[in-house]
A and B are shown apart, each in its own frame.
Chain A
């Protein structure tokens, strides 16, 4: 049911979308759901959805993308689809430290949630792709993920499968023999762009002035988030919306701390390989140490050594384990990592390239708990588990 709901949300959201711009609707209720009050806009707290001019949202396209997203035939052994790692039932991630591909092969990075990925300025942890469209093509042909040798097997399927032929023709007006990966990736991106969610307890507290939406402890946590915790400097909140990310890349002492001595030879070897045509996607996902170079692997800039993208914190309570390598099990572990000044465990050696914003925070244990509780208030109503302590009125999808 959840999958259906998400799809419907995307469709209802598109009534006010036009290429390049989209205004969240005042309310976007799934048809047939019980009446809910007007302030339970599922997109509450989100900015306008960016939609590329050459890939406008349509219900049929989103539906096609949904199908492609879940099609396991697009892998070397027929076991892996996008949803293998971005599971609808696990907040569009897999709750594993790093993504698992065909034959149980593991990569180097934690599968990020698709929820609100549409707002990312760049895709992947290191930002190596500029859009959902570009991003969606890579995992199919990564040897550790879907493992296809090329995109040809996908094209063979969508050109011959009667349902796909019909759907692509409907959506793009394209005949089967003219079908390309651009069409496939556009449809997948459209589907992903429909998976957006605001309306957390925080949103009702902050944007609707509903003071009862956060517990007192969560309110204390919010003040720490803004102040002593220094969280908001990267996990940005604006006056009228909050994505909880600055869209930038920071070295926060995850991964690279442990391989500092190897950085000079790694850099040399990586750049040599890249200069000789090495594929960054494959190099960073197949070698743990190379992965830790972070965005440097993309830009070759000192600023980006060991740096990874600031992820959104929306629905963060649902997407454990954490960090680009899934190395921290709980949100409390994450807060403690920052409290230590960018090291885990406390007292370990900080890497030389640590972002200048990261320093010990001197939070007490109870402050850490306050922050932890606040982060649980960022879960969107439609993804909140029914067992969660705060059952949100209007969060009715489980009754469908």
Chain B
């Protein structure tokens, strides 16, 4: 009962929609129609990392993550207005992986907007992806909000075009973590100029939401939780009242506020960062990592993965994380503090302790 009451309160506050996870969605339909504002919701699925083994074989675990997110998104009531796929649909950018991923995504009953990830890009520089999903960067308007999609995982031309003997090697080098042969992500001159022109047409009061694969802020270079020209992009976004950046790539929940810009990350459907190598009763096909960490329930392959739906409430982003066998998380824009805040864990005292049994 507490959950339901609490969720209803949440609903009334945001005027958005709710996870099936903790509420009776049917009762919300009426409430939603009673709310006259322009608030709406969309779903966000990201980082599926569909991985081809050989022939018709793909890594089952990653397939199951994407299939589950798609099936659950289709159960949302009321329906989200559209779905964003946040990049890294493929693991090594092959046509087989992109085709297989696109086929699983085709089960969605919604319009899907795609964001380019580095795992989709560095084999053929987005050629096949573009054939399937359209332009690598673009913008659209929806119910008064201006949405911008950037390809933020490009890098220096020298690295991309001159360094590598084969496209396959280029792909693998960029996919590596803590790899000295890698190169920092960036949006680049071409897109920044386009962005400037695109923003020139938008009223300064209009809420802006930017989707990128990398963070558009500088967090950790070794894993490319990083965008080299982040400051320049932030400067272009600065004149606007309400700006939100939503990014994938990091496979974990992050949020931040830099000036007028709210940053939120999304979860992966494939695996969480960091990830333990300790539970390997079967071949895991996990990328080699340097920082293994405990995971609550290693038996359960979906543990610490998930997807999210997002309420746009008065132009601000409220992130609702759907996490399997886990407490669901809500990161909501706090209007007083003017920054994103975890609904339940913002206070030091209400945080979950890390493991201490060592």
Contacts and interface: CB of A to CB of B under 8 A. Distances in A.
Interface residues of B, number: 30
Contacts of B70: 352
A288 interface: no
Given A227-B281, A355-B300, A359-B60, A302 B24 contact: no
B24 A352 contact: no
Interface in A270-301: 271-272, 274-275, 300-301
A264 interface: yes
B300 A352 contact: no
Contact of A275 (B24, B300, B325): B24
B301 A359 contact: yes
Interface in B47-71: 60-61, 64, 67-68, 70-71
B144 interface: no
A73 interface: no
Given A300-B20, A352-B70, A230 B301 contact: no
Nearest to A251: B68
Nearest to B325: A303
B166 interface: no
B302 interface: yes
Contact of A302 (B64, B75, B281, B301): B75
B99 interface: no
B75 A263 contact: yes
Given A302-B20, A302-B322, A357-B299, A352 B68 contact: yes
A160 interface: no
A98 B32 CA distance: 41
A215 B21 CA distance: 46
A267 B77 CA distance: 10
A264 B25 contact: no
B300 to A, nearest CB: 4
A301 B328 CA distance: 10
Contacts of B64: 350, 354, 356
B235 to A, nearest CB: 40
Given A264-B75, A357-B301, A274 B24 contact: yes
A79 interface: no
The interface size bin for chain A is 20 to 34
A302 B72 contact: yes
Nearest to A296: B20
B240 to A, nearest CB: 35
B136 interface: no
Interface in A68-119: none
A300 B301 contact: no
Contacts of A300: 20-25
Contacts of B324: 302-303, 356
A353 B21 CA distance: 14
Contacts of A359: 60-61, 282, 301
A230 B299 contact: yes
A175 interface: no
Nearest to A276: B26
A350 B301 CA distance: 15
Given A227-B281, A264-B75, A271-B77, A356 B25 contact: no
B328 to A, nearest CB: 9
Contacts of B342: none
B303 interface: yes
A301 B20 contact: yes
B260 interface: no
B299 A275 contact: no
A227 B74 CA distance: 36
A356 B301 contact: yes
Contacts of A301: 20-22
Interface string A291-329: 000000000111101000000000000000000000000
B278 interface: no
B26 A272 contact: yes
Interface string A235-266: 00000000000000000000000000001100
Given A227-B281, A302-B322, A275 B72 contact: no
A367 to B, nearest CB: 14
A297 B133 CA distance: 37
Nearest to B322: A302
Q: Which 9 A-B pairs have the closest CB atoms?
A: A356-B302, A352-B71, A356-B301, A233-B299, A356-B300, A271-B26, A275-B26, A357-B300, A352-B67
29 contacts: A228-B281, A230-B281, A230-B299, A263-B71, A264-B74, A268-B26, A268-B77, A271-B25, A271-B26, A272-B26, A274-B26, A275-B24, A275-B26, A300-B20, A300-B21, A301-B21, A301-B22, A302-B20, A302-B75, A302-B322, A305-B72, A341-B60, A354-B64, A356-B64, A356-B302, A356-B324, A357-B300, A357-B301, A359-B282
